[in-house]
Amino acid sequence: MNLQTDVADRESASLNAAGEEPSASARATLLRIGLGFAAAQSLSVAAELGIADLLAAGPGTVEALAAATGTEPGALRRLMRLLAAEGIFAEDASGTFAQTPLSDALRAEASGSPRDFLRMIGREPFVAWGRLLDAVRTGRPSFELVFGAPRFDWLARNPEAAALFQAAMVALSRDVIEPIAAAYEFGGLGVVVDVGGGHGSLLSAILARHPGVKGILFDLPEGIAAAEAGLGGPLPRCELVAGDFFESVPEGADVYLMKKVLHDWSDDDAVRILVNCRRAMAQGGRVLVAETLVPPGNTPDPIKVMDVNMLVVTGGRERTADEFAALFARADLIAGRILPAGSRISIIEAFAA
């Protein structure tokens, strides 16, 4: 949908709010939104099948793509036709499909490719979205209703899904690591604890930029194992510590850094994590929270979609700046500066009250 059509739809919706008969355009817009799951799940399937990688060398027929992916040609053609209508692939008059800029970005080897995230979101989270009504009625994640366990407990029992989840998180965070490391002056701060830091890619970038800083990577044992395997890059001057941030965090550090950690958890759980950081920090220490802030107003933004996804899947939430300040206050912290770190994420600073 182009901008002019979108504006017309919004104007139509505004007029209808005054009591006029709904227009055909308004009805069409509602149907388009309601059927959005079809394009989303089709994209997830294309990512799973690796179609973009198969077309990287040049256009291909559906028969060739079906043979390479173990799919039925007629069904695959229908999937590809839907995705071509969304601009993700391009179909010519002969029925051959080719790459577009969108599908080129879907390749596994493309820089910052969302392929693994799209594969992951199309599996268990998509199923949990089918019970969104239950989540809205109860305020509890519908994932637990469908799969019988909280998301992270379920992942701990399903290693293949857990590996895909980790790959998806790496894909999402790859292009924010360097901006976060560059946006804050870590030099001279002594010891930085990356709380829930996974395989350590962010801490690796910080240590590379600031030779005088020492690091502690703190995560569950599986995250520490990934760091020990070198998946996040080199970690000089760094101690690897396994533990549970709901219980405690390493004591005496100057900085407690959390990237996209608090959004996984409810307000009460997020406060528990912050309280543990507040208790552990050295005098004059600080907490740094790297998150994407929910913007005000009615402007469309992917983070508003992710907020409802957190409701459905983990019970967490995306937050506004004021909501983070309220969390800090409950943990005996005072909100400080908010520093943009690229276009997608901000660093929110907090000090002991």
Distance from C-alpha of 201 to C-alpha of 211, rounded to nearest angstrom: 16
Q: Which candidate in 77, 263, 286, 319 is catalytic?
A: 263
Distance from C-alpha of 137 to C-alpha of 69, rounded to nearest angstrom: 41
- Transcribe 129-169 into DSSP letters: HTTHHHHHHHSS-HHHHHHSS-HHHHHHT-HHHHHHHHHHH
Whole-angstrom Cα Rg for the chain? 23
Helix (H, G, I), strand (E, B) or coil at 35: coil
Q: Phi then psi for 288, rounded to 5 degrees? A: -120, 125
The CB density around residue 242, as the number of other CB atoms within 10 Å, is: 14
Distance from C-alpha of 201 to C-alpha of 179, rounded to nearest angstrom: 12
Of the candidates 228, 227, 208, the one whose C-alpha atom is nearest the C-alpha of residue 170 is 227
User: Catalytic: 263?
Assistant: yes
SS3 helix, strand, coil % of the chain, rounded to 5? 50, 15, 35
Query: Annotated active-site positions, please?
Result: 263
